[in-house]
Each structure stands twice: as C-alpha cells, then as structure tokens.
Chain A
C-alpha cells in the first residue's frame, strides 16, 4: 500500500478519511447522546434528494446535497420541537420523500447516467481537491462550535429541561446539532455512502462512550477510533479490491464485536 501513496487519489483518500472520521466522531457523539440516530439516518437518506437536484441543474453535488440536507434538518428540527411524540412518523416520511425526489430528478436528467452505487456506498477513491477543502472547512467549523459552546451543548444534551431553566436556548442548540449532523452526513457520504453513514456515526462512538468519562473525551476518542477503522478499512479495500465504504464498516463492526467480547470478560 505504501507505493500507492504516490498517487494523488490515494493521498486524497487518506486525507478525506481522516477529516471525515474526526467530523463523524465528534458529531456522532452528539447524535448518540442526544438519541438522534434515527434523525441522522433520515437526514442521510433525504440528502439523496439534493444529489438528484444537483445532477439535474448541473450544480456541484456537495452544494446540492448540503443545501438539501440542511433544509431537511431544519424541517425535522421544527417538526420535532413542536410535536415530539410523532417525530418517528415525520422522519420516516421525509426520509422516503427525499430519496424519491433524488431518483426522479436523476431520471429526468437527459443523457446522464449517474452512478447511484457511488452515493449509496461511497467513493473515497474519487475525492477531489475541492471536496477536501469542503471537508476541512466543515471540520474547522465543528471544532470551533464544540469548543466555544461546549458548556451549552453539554447542558442541552445531558438535561435539556434543566438547561432551559438555566437560560440556555435549547431549541437553538438542538437545531444547531441537527444542522451540523446534516453537513457531516453529506461529507461522510463521500467516504462510506449514505446507507452506511449511520454505522460510521455510531460504532466508534459506542466504543468511545464506554471508555470516556466526559463528553469531550468521548468526541475526540470517537474521532481517533473512526480514523483507525477508516484507514484499516481502506487498506483492506485497496489490497483485496473491495468496496471501500463496506470494508470500513465491516472493520468497524468486527472491532466492535471484539471490543464487546473483551469488555465482557473483564
């Protein structure tokens, strides 16, 4: 694999893997502690609508997917803040409609045969320089938000009712976490694809949660674990010519199994 590093696409893949893993580790931690896994799944699938629209109008895929995913996350935030008890229904609905919009717009695009598989399962070996800028920019934003607003995010995540009583703007932070999740999902689609994105946002986080005694440690440990899984998965993918996203997820899942076995024996 060392000789492969001379290729641009491989360097890009490694960089993208690290950037996306850290973003996914940090945001995945927030998604898990806030019990938003299903919401994140909804946003991931909905963002396919944005991919379809971007293809149809000839816009950059990242831009289309980001705008659409952020829109979906705002809609989900507004709906779930108002009617919490029906939120699973709404998310299921938005999930399906988003994907349907994507498929229809791809159908309508003349003479363009989009590779659906690459969005469903990721295409980490096709990361462009612009993609890397976008990923790095998002990671910087995420890092800034979680360090500067750590206390409020912690308070809202741990006990939102109490945070509200202490003057924290709970709906704002709830929406912020969802919007950051949407953007993270979009960049993670490039690496593992929208079907597998949930595994990337949850498996490293689950392991990190058991090993951490603060949210801060959990976020960065998740990022480190996700990076490890991504790099090992990428190596398998390259060596045995397997789909990269699926390899990364399998490495994660097997590691989780081993981790659970070891921690149970203790």
Chain B
C-alpha cells in the first residue's frame, strides 16, 4: 500500500488555479524531494496533505485514510522556524508540543512525555540543550528541535517545508545527514529550493509548478558530476537532465532557481 496517494488533485485559491491535475504516489521509506519555484504551489500541496487546506477537487489518501484522520502519523516541520524567537520557552517544552492528544496529567507534563521528548532530542543530537531557551539557539539547532518535536508523535511520515532555508552550508548537510538516518524508519518528504543538496539524499523528486512532473532519480545519481569540496551536484547538469526528461515546467522555471556561487 502506498503511504500517500494523490489522484487528479486541483486547488484554486481566490479563483487563481494553484495546482492542476496532480497525481503523486509516495511509497514507504521513500525520500521524496519536492522542488519548484516560489509560488509554484509546493507549500499548498503540503498543506493539502496535512489537511490544513480543504480538499476541493481530486483525492488524497494518507496511509489509506483521509488526511485529517492520519494526522497523528505525520510529523510536520513547518517553514520559518526563526519567527517568535523572543518567546520565553525552553527546548523541552517546544518538543513536548509534538505529543498527540492522549492521557494528560492535570498540571504540567507526564513523566512518560518528558522521557519521550528527551528521546526525540537525543535522536537529533540536542539532548544537552533541553533546558535552554529556544531563542538562544542557532538556526540549525532550532531546526533540529523542530524535527524532534515532529518525532515526538512517532510518525510514519516526516514532512519538512524548506528545512534548511536559513542555515549555513555545514548546518544544511548535518540536517540532511540526520534525515538520511531517520529515513531508515520512516518516509520523508522535503520541500526545498536547494535542489543540488537535496537530490543527493532523495530517491525521488517531483517538480511542482502548478502541474507536477515526477522523476525517479535513485539510479541517476552516478551520472552527475560533483564539484567543490562539499561535493554537491552541478546544478546545470541537473537541470539539463530534468529538462531532457520531457519536463517543460522545469525549463520555464529555470531562471528563478537560485544558482550557488
């Protein structure tokens, strides 16, 4: 059974079509990269999968059910975790927000909840920071905390929206290495601009710009050159490959993609 199955999905926002006739199947333990230009509908697609945006046309099933019914099985790491950094809150408290509604003590947090949150923090290598105020962490550290929060509910699917947009190159690699480890146990979906880095880790890629084109890239990685000492792919080659696969949307979008110096 596929983990996520989207059929003939269209979404209109204020009479403007954002997504048209999307078909997408995500299998278990996939590492799917969703790429595409800003405003191309990537976040909208995520919000449909999460049931935040109402489904109007087409169908989405997550683990065989409607998105809203599978929410507890999805871990979500939202975009822009740099907002609200003045908020007086400790790392451990942020992580515990990830717990799904269940039995709760009258005051504060249950012992099992604390243990579970600490386990999630250990998984992302942030256990030492449990009592730190979230605002004093770096962007990369904060992103790890948000991943820990998503892991708290023991998800089968982990969805990340631009997880590395405000993190330096080394921090980005660390995050993706972490996702690679997590991928052994769960399906991972990442929306990103940094196509060269993400495609190194992903086994599938979809390009979303109103319509969707899909590439299985797991066997193509060896054909890429790597360059620079951080060893990421040559972006031009990548675009050529995607373009060669009869993907007109990529070519249209090409000028908007950020090229690395």
Q: Which of B78, B88, B133, B153 has the most CB of A within 10 A?
A: B88
Complex CA distance for A157 and B89, rounded to whole angstroms = 11
A205 to chain B, nearest CB (A): 10
- Contact across chains for B50 and A165 when beta carbons are under 8 A apart: yes
Contact segment of B95-103, B162-170, B179-187, B203-211: B95-103
Is B94 located at the chain interface by the 8 A CB criterion?
yes
Which chain A residues in 114-158 approach chain B with CB under 8 Å?
Answer: 147-148, 150-151, 154-155, 157-158
Interface of B: prevailing SS? loop
- Contact across chains for A33 and B87 when beta carbons are under 8 A apart: yes
Interface range on chain B: under 10, 10 to 19, 20 to 34, or 35 or more?
Answer: 20 to 34
- Contact across chains for B99 and A213 when beta carbons are under 8 A apart: no
- Contact across chains for A158 and B133 when beta carbons are under 8 A apart: no
A212 proximity list for chain B (CB < 8 A): 88
A198 to chain B, nearest CB (A): 19
- Contact across chains for B101 and A215 when beta carbons are under 8 A apart: no
Complex CA distance for A215 and B104, rounded to whole angstroms = 19
B104 proximity list for chain A (CB < 8 A): 151
- Contact across chains for A163 and B97 when beta carbons are under 8 A apart: yes
Is B109 located at the chain interface by the 8 A CB criterion?
yes
Enumerate 26 A-B pairs (CB-CB under 8 Å) in ascending A order: A33-B88, A148-B106, A150-B107, A151-B96, A155-B97, A157-B87, A158-B84, A158-B89, A158-B97, A159-B78, A162-B76, A162-B78, A162-B97, A162-B149, A165-B52, A165-B76, A166-B100, A167-B100, A167-B101, A212-B88, A213-B88, A213-B89, A213-B90, A213-B132, A213-B133, A215-B87
Interface residues of B (CB under 8 A from A): 50, 52, 71, 76, 78, 84, 86-90, 93-94, 96-101, 104, 106-109, 131-133, 149, 153
